[in-house]
Amino acid sequence: MHDFEAVIGLEIHVELSTASKIFCSCPTTFGAEVNTQCCPVCLGLPGTLPALNRKALEYTVKAGLALNCQIARHTWFDRKNYFYPDLPKAYQVSQQDAPLCVNGYLEIPVGDSGTKKVGINRVHLEEEVGKSLHAGETIIDAVYSLLDYNRAGIPLIEIVTQPDIRSAEEAQTFLESLRNILRYIEISDCKMQEGSLRCDANISLRPKGSTAFGTKTEIKNLNSFRAVRRALEYEIKRQAGLLRDGLPVEPETRHWDEQKGVTVAMRSKEQTSFYRLFADPDLVPIDLSAEWIQQMERELPELPGARRERFIDEYGLPEYDARVLTAAKEMADFFEEVVKGYNDPKTVSNWIMTEILRYVKEQGEEAEGIPLPPASLVELLQLIEGGIINRNQAKEIVLPEMVASGKAPRQIVKEKGLEQISDTSQLEGVVASVLEANPDVVQDYLGGKEKVMGFLVGQVLKETKGKANPRLVNEMIREKLKQ
Amino acid sequence: MTIAGMSVVEILEGQQRGEFTPEEVLRAHLDRIEGEDVGAFLRLCPAASPGPGPLQGVPVALGDEVCTEGVETTAGSRILAGFVPPYQATLAAKLQGAGAAVVGKTNLTEFGMSFDMEDALCGRTQNPWRSGTTPGGAAGGAAAAVAAGQAAAAVAADTGGDVRIPASYCGLVGFTPTYGRISRYGVIQHAPSLTQVGLLARKVRDIALLLQVLAGEDPQDHTSLPGTLPDLLAEVGEPQPLRIGIAPGAYKSWAEGEVYQTLERLWQETAAQLGWQLVEVDLPWLDLAQIARRLIAAAESSSTLGRYDGVRYGYRAKDAQDMRELFSRTRAEGFGQVVKGEILLGTYILGDKDHYEAYYLQALRARKLVYKSWQGLWQEVDLLLTPTTPELAGRGKTPPEIFTGPSNLAGLPAISLPCGLVDGLPVGVQLIAPAGEEGRLLRAADALEKMIDFASSRNGGGQGA
Residue type, A51: A
pLDDT surpassing 90 at residue A111: no
Q: Are strands B242-246 and B383-387 parallel, antiparallel or unpaired?
A: parallel
Instruction: Report helix, strand or coil for A9.
Output: strand
Least confident window among A195-209, B407-421, B446-460: B446-460
Q: Which residues lie across from A286 on neighbouring strands?
A: A75
Beta strand pairing call for A155-161 and A114-127: antiparallel
User: What's the CA gap between A250 and A215, in Å, rounded?
Assistant: 7
Tell me the domain boundaries of chain B: 8-239+413-457
354-393 in chain B: CB under 8 A from chain A: 360
Omega cis (within 30) before A394 = no
Residues of B in contact with A83 (CB under 8 A): 306, 309, 327
pLDDT, one tens digit per residue, over B187-229 is 999 999 999 999 999 999 999 999 999 999 999 999 999 987 8
Q: Is A31 left (phi over 0), alpha (psi -120 to 50) or beta?
A: left
Specify the pLDDT at position A182: 96
pLDDT digits (tens, 9 = 90+) for B286-329: 999 999 999 999 999 999 999 999 999 999 999 998 889 999 99
Other C-beta atoms closer than 10 Å to the C-beta of B368 total 13
Is the predicted pLDDT of residue A320 greater than 70, yes or no? Answer: yes
Partners of residue B191 in chain A, C-beta under 8 Å: 281
B309·A83 Cβ contact <8 A: yes
H/E stretch holding A325 reads helix A319-326
Residue of A40, A139, A284 with shortest CB distance to B87: A40
CB B434 within 8 Å of CB B378: yes
Asked if residue B459 has pLDDT above 60, the reply is: no
Average pLDDT rounded to a whole number, residues A15-43: 96
**A354: which DSSP letter?**
I
Contacts of B189 in chain A (CB under 8 A): 47
Chain B hits for A47, Cβ within 8 Å: 65-67, 73, 85, 89, 184-189
Q: Is B322 on the interface with A (CB under 8 A)?
A: yes
Across chain B, what does the average pLDDT equal? 94
Which of B219, B222, B347 shows the shortest C-beta gap to A276? B347
**pLDDT-above-90 percentage for chain A:** 62
CB-facing half-sphere around the CA of A331: CA atoms within 13 A: 28
Longest dimension (CA), chain A: 100
CA distances, B285 to each of B282, B397, B406, B431 (Å): 9, 19, 9, 18
How does DSSP classify residue A165? Answer: B
Q: Mean pLDDT of all residues in chain A? A: 91
Q: How confident is the model at residue A367 (pLDDT cuts 50, 70, 90)?
A: low
The pLDDT score that the predictor gives to residue B81 is 94
Q: Which of A44, A277, A282 shows the shortest C-beta gap to B223?
A: A282
Greater pLDDT, A205 or A420: A205
Give the minimum alpha-carbon distance from B4 to chain A in angstroms, rounded to a whole number. Answer: 31
- In this complex, the residue of A51, A140, A276 whose CB is nearest that of residue B350 is A276
- Identify the pLDDT of residue A146: 93
Q: CB under 8 Å to B128, separation ≥6 — which residues?
A: B36, B38, B135, B144, B147, B148, B170, B462, B463, B464
pLDDT tens figures, A194-232: 899 999 999 999 999 899 999 999 999 898 999 999 999
Burial class (CB in 10 A: 0-12, 13-18, 19+), A265: exposed
First to last CA, chain B: 9
Q: Which helix (H) or strand (E) holds A440?
A: helix A439-446
Write out the residues of chain A at the interface with chain B, using a CB-CB cutoff of 8 A: 40-41, 43-52, 79, 81, 83-85, 88-91, 139-142, 145, 147, 274, 276-278, 281-284
Search chain B and give the residue with CA nearest A144: B322
What confidence score (pLDDT) does residue A140 get?
72
State which fold the A424-482 domain adopts: Arc Repressor Mutant, subunit A (1.10.10)
Instruction: Give the closest of B66, B75, B220 to A51, CB-based.
Output: B220
When scoring A45, A87, A138 by the number of chain B Cβ atoms within 10 A, the one with the most, hence best to mutate, is A45
Nearest to A352 by CA among A360, A342, A363: A360
User: How far off is chain A from B170, nearest CA to CA, in Å?
Assistant: 27
Best of A81, A276, A284, A287 to mutate (most B CBs within 10 Å, chain B)? A276
Highest mean pLDDT among A182-191, B152-161, B236-245: B152-161
Contacts of B303 in chain A (CB under 8 A): 79, 81, 90-91, 276, 278
CA B194 – CA B181 distance, rounded (Å): 13
Q: Measure the CA–CA gap between B85 and B464, rounded to whole angstroms.
A: 33
- On the question of pLDDT at B1 being above 80, the answer is no
Residues of B in contact with A129 (CB under 8 A): none
Q: Which of A25, A34, A49 to mutate to test the interface with B (most CBs of B within 10 A)?
A: A49
Residue range B164-169: mean pLDDT, rounded: 98
Q: Name the burial class of residue B32, with classes exposed (0-12), middle (13-18) and buried (19+) by CB atoms within 10 angstroms of its CB.
A: buried
pLDDT at B457: 57
- Whether residue A119 has pLDDT greater than 50: yes
Interface touch B303/A88, C-beta < 8 Å:
no
Residues 6 or more apart whose CB falls under 8 angstroms from that of B151 comprise B29, B59, B60, B61, B103, B104, B145
Dihedral sign for Cα B378, B382, B388, B390, please. Answer: negative
* Nearest residue in B to A35, CA atom: B312
The predicted structure's pLDDT at residue A335: 95
Q: Which residues contact A247 (CB under 8 A, 6 or more apart)?
A: none
Between chains, do A46 and B300 touch, taking CB under 8 Å as contact? no
pLDDT digits (tens, 9 = 90+) for A264-305: 988 655 455 679 999 999 999 999 999 999 999 999 999 998
Task: Concatenate the DSSP letters of all residues of A237-302 into one string.
Answer: HHHHHHHHTTPPPP-EEEEEETTTTEEEEEEEGGGPPP---EE-TTS--EE--HHHHHHHHHH---
Query: How many Cα atoms are found within 13 Å in the side-chain-facing hemisphere of A37?
Result: 22
Provide the percentage of residues in chain B whose pLDDT is more than 90: 89
Compute the nearest-CA separation of A55 from chain B (Å). Answer: 15
Does the beta-carbon distance from B220 to A49 stay under 8 Å? yes
Model confidence at B403, pLDDT cuts 50, 70, 90, reads very high
Q: Supply the ipTM of this predicted assembly.
A: 0.94
Q: Give B256: exposed, middle or buried? Use CB within 10 Å, 0-12, 13-18, 19+.
A: middle
Q: What is the pLDDT of residue B108?
A: 98
Q: How far apart are the first and last CA of chain A?
A: 82
Does residue B432 register a pLDDT over 90?
yes
- Chain B, residues 37-76, CB within 8 A of chain A, namely 65-67, 73, 75
Q: How many Å apart are CA A322 and CA A340, to the nearest integer?
A: 17
| Candidate ranges A267-281, A460-474, B329-343; pick with highest mean pLDDT | B329-343
Q: Map residue A386 onto helix, strand or coil.
A: coil
| Rounded Cα distance, B7 and A361, in Å | 77
The whole-number average pLDDT for the span B20-45 is 95
Query: What is the structure's pLDDT at B461?
Result: 39
Q: Name the helix (H) or strand (E) containing A118.
A: strand A114-127
CATH number for domain B8-239+413-457, candidates 3.40.50.300, 1.10.10.10, 3.90.1300.10, 3.40.50.2000: 3.90.1300.10
* Single-letter amino acid code for the residue at B189: Q
**Interface membership of B105 toward A (CB under 8 Å):** no
Looking at the DSSP bridge assignments, the partners of residue B278 are B244
Give the model's pLDDT for residue A421: 76
According to DSSP, the residues that pair with B102 across neighbouring strands are B60
Q: Pairing state of beta strands A286-287 and B41-44?
A: unpaired
Nearest to B309 among A90, A274, A277 (CB): A90
Pairwise CB contact (< 8 Å): B185 & A49? yes
CB B149 within 8 A of CB B409: no
- pLDDT at position A38 is 96
Instruction: Tell me the C-alpha distance between B438 and B445, whole Å.
Output: 10
Q: Round to whole Å and give the CA distance between A340 and B234.
A: 69
Share of chain A above pLDDT 70, in %: 97
Tens-digit pLDDT profile for residues B232-291 = 767 666 667 899 999 999 999 999 999 999 999 999 999 999 999 999 999 999 999 999
Residues of chain A with CATH 1.10.10.410: 424-482
Residue type (1 letter), B44: L
Q: Enumerate the residues of chain A whose CB falls inside 8 A of the CB of residue B192.
A: 49, 281-282
User: Which of B224, B311, B361 best probes binding to A when mutated, by most A CB atoms within 10 angstroms?
Assistant: B311
Cβ-nearest to A276 among B80, B191, B303: B303
Range of lowest pLDDT (A258-267, B232-241, B348-357): B232-241
Cβ separation A44–B73 shorter than 8 A: no
Q: Measure in Å the smallest separation between the Cα of A282 and chain B Cα atoms.
A: 6
Inter-chain touch A45–B309, beta carbons under 8 Å: no
The answer to whether A308 and A322 have CB atoms below 8 angstroms apart is yes
Of B187, B300, B303, the CB nearest to A47: B187
Backbone Cα Rg of chain B: 21
| Long-range CB contacts (within 8 A, 24+) of A416-423 | A417/A467, A418/A388, A418/A389, A418/A393, A418/A467, A419/A388, A419/A389, A419/A467, A420/A387, A420/A388, A420/A389, A420/A390, A420/A467, A420/A468, A420/A469, A421/A464, A421/A467, A421/A468, A421/A469, A421/A472, A422/A387, A422/A388, A422/A469, A422/A472
